[in-house]
Amino acid sequence: MTSENQAEAPDATIDALMDTMDIEKILEILPHRYPFLMVDRVLCLTAGEKIVALKNVSINEPFFQGHFPGKPVMPGVLILEGMVQSGALLLSQSLAKERYMSVCFSGIDQVRFRRPVTPGDTMLFTVELMRRRRRFVKMAAFATVGQTRVAEAKLMAVIGGEK
C-alpha cells in the first residue's frame, strides 16, 4: 500500500494495516495445504475491515484434469473456497488481540458465478467485514479477474474457541 492510501485511513494503526502476507505466513494461519490451499498471497489487509488476496490459476492445478478435459474451467466451489479462506485470514488478523481465535463458517448466501475462470487467470479475492455482533460475523466477498467480477457471495461465521 502506498503512503497515499495510508493517509486515506487515518484510524488505521501499524498493527491493523499490513501491505502483504506471503505464502509462509498464510501457511502459519490456515490449516489448508496442497491441493486445497486457494490463496497464494495477501496484497492488502486492514484488520477488522478488508482483505485483498491473490490466487494464480495454473493449468497444473489437479482439478483441471477432470473439470473439464479439453475445456479447463475452475470449479465454482473452489472459487468460493478461495473467498472463504480469504475471509478466514481477515478474521484471524482481526481477532489476533482478542481471546477468541477459532472461526467456523456457518453459512453462505447470495452466491453468484458470473464468468468462468480458466488457466492463466489471476484472481483477486476481496472480502469486507459487513457486520459483527458478539461472536457472529457477516462478510461480503468478491472474486475478480482483471476488472471483471467472476463470483460474489455473503459469508457468515461464528467466532469461538478461547485461547
Residue 125 domain flag:
yes
Beta-bridge mates of residue 56: 122
DSSP state of 103: E
| Mean pLDDT value of segment 28-41 | 94
Here the cell at position 118 is 480458466
CATH number assigned to the domain comprising residue 42: 3.10.129.10
Residue 52 has pLDDT above 50, yes or no: yes
Among residues 6, 22, 23, which one has the least CA distance to residue 14? 6
Mean pLDDT of 48-72: 96
Lowest mean pLDDT among 10-14, 72-76, 81-85: 10-14
In a domain, 113, yes or no: yes
Task: Reply yes or no on whether 67 is catalytic.
Answer: yes
Catalytic residue among 25, 41, 50, 67: 67
Cβ burial of 32 (10 Å; 0-12, 13-18, 19+) is middle
pLDDT at 99: 61
What's the domain range around 99? 16-162
**Number of domains composing the chain:** 1
- The pTM score is 0.85
Domain assignment of residue 11, yes or no:
no
Backbone angles phi, psi at 42, to 5 degrees: -100, 125
